[in-house]
Amino acid sequence: MSEETPKATTTLPGKVEKVIKAHPGSGEPEKAQIAVEGADHLYREIRVPNNLTDPSGKKVKLKPGAEVEVKIEADPVVTRTDQPQDQTTMP
């Protein structure tokens, strides 16, 4: 069994603004449009497939007005620290 390196994460609150039904015959899934709080105005809405699984394994869907959390994860190898780099030089 290998140990997994913890990922850097942040979680933002969001709200389902609307559910977008798929066009019949398109093969596209139903989508949930989520407004992400804290995102820039022009980029605050995301659309994701409206298919979730509850803790018992049952397929469920989001309803308009649902409060949700949007979690962002990244491997440590693709992140950087937010601290200023040491500008000292060695002689």
Whether the pTM exceeds 0.85: the reply is no
Domain assignment present for residue 51? The answer is yes
Mean pLDDT, the chain, integer: 90
Domain assignment present for residue 89? The answer is no
Residue linked to tokens 């605050």: 44
Can you give the residue range of the structural domain that contains 55? 23-74
Domain assignment present for residue 13? The answer is no
Least confident stretch, 11-15, 50-54, 60-64, 83-87:
83-87
pLDDT tens profile 14-49: 999 999 999 888 889 999 999 999 999 999 999 999
The pLDDT of residue 43 is 94
Domain assignment present for residue 70? The answer is yes
Total number of domains constituting the chain: 1
Domain assignment present for residue 50? The answer is yes
The residue ranking higher by pLDDT, 27 or 69, is 69
